[in-house]
Amino acid sequence: MLNLILFGPPGSGKGTQAAKLEKTYGLFHISTGDMFRSEIENGTELGKQAHEFMSRGELVPDEVTIGMLRNRMLAHSEAKGFIFDGFPRTEPQADALDHLMSGMNQQIDALILLEVPEEEIVHRILKRGKDSNRSDDGDEDVIRNRFRVYQSKTAPIYNYYDKRGKAFKISGLGTIDEIFSCLLEAVDSLRV
Ligand code: AMP
């Protein structure tokens, strides 16, 4: 079993790298952002609730997010392990994840932070907004708010795992393959 959290600001490349890790280690990838976007596309009540917060660059309330994540994990309890992408983003979410994992007799093995500075984030997300239909990617004010929310509410989660010796940092700058090879090194160091 291997359970990883890919961590970092919006636009740091978590989704891209998680997809590569998923293939390499046969893990189940859970992106709460993708789950919300699919709820919105399907016009569900949950999607309507989430959209209100996402369009402003705010976090969806913890109880909504945790409930959705719990259902997805329980539906895939046979997985060889999980890669969490975009979760946890607050301390109550980190506590809930610990709780869910221990209920499955599992634990988080590592949190890996992809470090990318704000100006690069804004540049990347505006570019992504042109090629995708992510509604929160087109507006610079919303992007900067997402970064502020990340710094105030989410970044402190790094310490939550660091205190337990489970937090790692790598640079999120460089080519996709360069970053992936740093990630592989970090993950393989856990497995020896
Ligand atoms: P992402 O694709 O991970 O950048 O997420 C897009 C948006 O979905 C975020 O700006 C939040 O509004 C919402 N979201 C995704 N994951 C979470 C989470 N774990 N907690 C609260 N809101 C979230």
**Nearest to residue 107, comparing CAs of 118, 124, 94?**
94
Confidence of residue 131 (pLDDT cuts 50, 70, 90): confident
41-77 pLDDT, tens digit each: 999 999 999 999 999 999 999 999 999 999 999 999 9
Confidence of residue 135 (pLDDT cuts 50, 70, 90): confident
Rounded to 5 degrees, φ, ψ at 174 are 125, -175
Candidates 20, 56, 72, 134; catalytic one: 134
Alpha-carbon 23 to chain mean position: 17
Please compute the mean of the pLDDT values over residues 106-122 and round it to a whole number. 96
Please compute the mean of the pLDDT values over residues 134-151 and round it to a whole number. 93
**Nearest to residue 33, comparing CAs of 5, 67, 4, 65?**
65
Q: How confident is the prediction for the chain on average, in pLDDT?
A: 95
More confident residue, 65 or 192: 65
* Angle 186-150-86 from CA coordinates, rounded to 5°: 55
Given a cut of 90, whether residue 132 has pLDDT beyond it is no
Please compute the mean of the pLDDT values over residues 159-187 and round it to a whole number. 97
What pTM, to 2 d.p., does this model score? 0.95
pLDDT of residue 174: 95
Dist CA 114 CA 162 (whole Å):
15
Which helix (H) or strand (E) element contains residue 149?
A: helix 140-149
For residue 49, count CB atoms less than 10 angstroms from its CB and return exposed for 0-12, middle for 13-18, buried for 19 or more.
middle
Cα(62) to ligand 1 centroid in Å equals 11
Name which residue sits closest to atom 11 of ligand 1, judged by CA: 59
pLDDT of residue 133: 77
21-42 pLDDT, tens digit each: 999 999 999 999 999 999 999 9
> Given 3-state DSSP classes, what are the helix, strand and coil percentages for the chain, each rounded to the nearest 5?
60, 10, 30
Which CATH architecture describes the domain 2-190? 3-Layer(aba) Sandwich (3.40)
Cα(35) to ligand 1 centroid in Å equals 9
pLDDT of residue 192: 63
